[in-house]
């Protein structure tokens, strides 16, 4: 396969490392979003007090409020910290995903905005981490599959049909800006036909395997010794 000039779609090692660091930092950031409980007997640590809390962007509603539907907000929203924990655990911990989903079934399709509209669900997180076990569990519970998940899982016919229906999807970005090509890379052998198809539609220079994939391969070699 001939290489073409490096595209903006390429996920560099530096970019991936930066994103991974952001994911690690996301949990304590979200956790401090709730208003402090003055009745709590557990004192906040200095680290918790120093952690900046997420905040909602200001709104200038100069476009006018919708006049055909007014939300009543009768039911409480799922706790933001719990939703963030669920999405974070979905990157690598199937056990915790099951525990939290049993406790709160509404978490299944919960999306967390990490800032600037970078929305991520548990399915999205497990998909770009190549965690097929977590993906399969979430799908079995009714999670809403998307083209990124289908790409990582090697569902060639589904990906082909979606891109045929809407060719612009070849440039679609998932959580944290990860491309379809990247999701095919983390999908491993099962997703190789999908990667070949994506390259036939739009060939790009592929970045190096993400660090977590290299570590997982090394761990497998150690376990065989």
Tens place of pLDDT for every residue, the chain, 225 residues? 444 444 444 444 444 444 444 443 343 333 333 333 434 444 555 556 677 788 899 999 999 999 999 999 999 999 999 999 999 999 999 999 999 999 999 999 999 999 999 999 999 999 999 999 999 999 999 999 999 999 999 999 999 999 999 999 999 999 999 999 999 999 999 999 999 999 999 999 998 877 877 655 544 444 344
Tokens of 75: 């039911």
User: Do 95 and 149 fall into the same domain?
Assistant: no
**Residue 52 domain-assigned (yes or no):** no
Alpha helices in the chain (DSSP H): 13-31, 46-50, 80-89, 94-103, 122-128, 132-140, 147-152, 156-165, 180-186, 192-201, 211-224
Tokens of 23: 């994911």
**Residue 120 domain-assigned (yes or no):** yes
Distance CA 176, CA 20 (A): 10
Phi, psi (5° rounding) for residue 72? -95, -20
User: Do 23 and 110 fall into the same domain?
Assistant: yes
Q: From its phi and psi, is residue 153 left (phi > 0), alpha (psi between -120 and 50) or beta?
A: alpha
Task: Please say which residue of 124, 143, 162 terminates a domain.
Answer: 143
User: Do 150 and 133 fall into the same domain?
Assistant: no
What sign for the dihedral angle of Cα 130, 194, 168, 164? negative
Predicted pLDDT at 43 = 56
Spatial CA neighbour of 156 closest among 133, 184, 124, 136: 184
Task: Please say which residue of 121, 143, 165 terminates a domain.
Answer: 143
Burial 76-89 (b: 16+ CB within 10 A, else e): eeeebebbbbbbbb
Tokens of 211: 């660090």
Place of tokens 């993906």: 135
**Residue 91 domain-assigned (yes or no):** yes
User: Do 150 and 139 fall into the same domain?
Assistant: no
- Print the domain residue range for 177: 145-206
User: Do 82 and 122 fall into the same domain?
Assistant: yes
User: Do 132 and 171 fall into the same domain?
Assistant: no
User: Do 182 and 156 fall into the same domain?
Assistant: yes
Instruction: Look at the pTM and tell me if it is higher than 0.85.
Output: no
Task: Please say which residue of 143, 162, 177 terminates a domain.
Answer: 143
**Residue 223 domain-assigned (yes or no):** no
**Residue 2 domain-assigned (yes or no):** no
User: Do 124 and 169 fall into the same domain?
Assistant: no
**Residue 159 domain-assigned (yes or no):** yes
Spatial CA neighbour of 82 closest among 57, 52, 54, 103: 103
**Residue 61 domain-assigned (yes or no):** no
User: Do 130 and 149 fall into the same domain?
Assistant: no
User: Do 194 and 127 fall into the same domain?
Assistant: no
User: Do 95 and 189 fall into the same domain?
Assistant: no
Tokens of 173: 């970005």
User: Do 113 and 175 fall into the same domain?
Assistant: no
Q: How many domains does the chain have?
A: 2
**Residue 83 domain-assigned (yes or no):** yes
Predicted pLDDT at 87 = 98
Distance CA 192, CA 152 (A): 9
């Amino acid at each position: 396969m001939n290489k073409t000039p490096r595209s903006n779609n390429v996920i560099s090692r530096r970019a991936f490392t930066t994103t991974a660091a952001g994911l690690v930092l996301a949990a304590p950031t979200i956790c401090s979003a709730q208003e402090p409980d003055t009745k709590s007997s557990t004192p906040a640590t200095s680290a918790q007090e120093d952690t900046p809390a997420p905040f909602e962007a200001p709104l200038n509603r100069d476009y006018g409020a919708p006049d055909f539907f007014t939300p009543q907000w009768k039911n409480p929203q799922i706790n933001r910290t719990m939703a963030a924990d669920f999405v974070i655990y979905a990157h690598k911990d199937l056990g915790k995903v099951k525990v939290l989903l049993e406790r709160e079934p509404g978490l299944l399709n919960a999306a967390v905005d990490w800032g600037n509209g970078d929305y991520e669900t548990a399915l999205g997180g497990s998909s770009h981490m190549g965690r097929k076990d977590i993906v399969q569990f979430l799908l079995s519970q009714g999670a809403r599959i998307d083209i990124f998940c289908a790409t990582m899982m090697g569902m060639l016919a589904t990906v082909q049909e979606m891109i045929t229906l809407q060719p612009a999807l070849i440039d679609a970005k998932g959580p944290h800006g990860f491309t379809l090509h990247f999701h095919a890379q983390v999908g491993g052998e099962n997703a190789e036909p999908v990667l070949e198809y994506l390259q036939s539609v739009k060939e790009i220079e592929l970045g190096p395997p993400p660090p977590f994939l290299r570590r997982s391969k090394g761990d497998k070699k150690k376990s065989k010794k």
